[in-house]
Amino acid sequence: MNESRAAIRYAKATLELATENKAADAVEQDMRTVAKTISDSKELQEMLASPVVTASIKQDALNAIFEGSHAITQGLIATLTTNKRVPLLNEVALKYIILSEKLKGEHVAFVTTAVPMTDALEKSVLKKVGELTGNKVTLENKVDENIIGGFVLRVGDLQYDASIANKLSNLKREFTNTL
């Protein structure tokens, strides 16, 4: 099964459970914390993806890291661990945020840049994305030096890649095709 589809299914199920228990906002805050923590920690990403680390160690580590989170969030971690899908945790958290924002009539715009965005640039991007989508938009900035420069903007299913790495890749492809 496609991992993205699996992440969406886990996120939808978690959102339904959270909505039934009137805890959607609390779980959304947990998911934002989960996504940020995993994105910021290379070691945590490696530990979650490692086939050498046992499921019980992964679950204990995640329970310690996200101690104090809502019971639904803890249940999601336990379910992913039991089903051997814990490497999907970050993607499930991101999908949950998107689905939750959609449910509230808002959208999340994910902007990947080579350096952190300034407040002025962030406001400008928020305004432009709001105009394009016609909806209330929140912005999540991820820093990835591998894109060299420029940005990658993703809103829902739409993605605009204006990164230097993408442009270099396109040039390389054009040169290769003309030879």
pLDDT digits (tens, 9 = 90+) for 63-84: 999 999 999 999 999 999 999 9
Query: How far is the C-alpha of 116 from the C-alpha of 86, rounded, in Å?
Result: 28
What would be the CATH architecture of the domain defined by 3-100?
Orthogonal Bundle (1.10)
Contact 72, 13 (CB under 8 A): no
- Which residues fall within 8 angstroms of residue 144, CB to CB, at 6 or more apart? 112, 113, 114
Cα 136–Cα 141–Cα 143 angle in degrees, nearest 5? 165
Domain residue ranges in the chain: 3-100, 106-178
pLDDT mean over 163-175: 90
pLDDT digits (tens, 9 = 90+) for 101-117: 888 877 778 899 989 88
pLDDT confidence bin for 62, thresholds 50/70/90: very high
Per residue in 116-133, pLDDT (tens digit) is 889 898 888 888 888 877
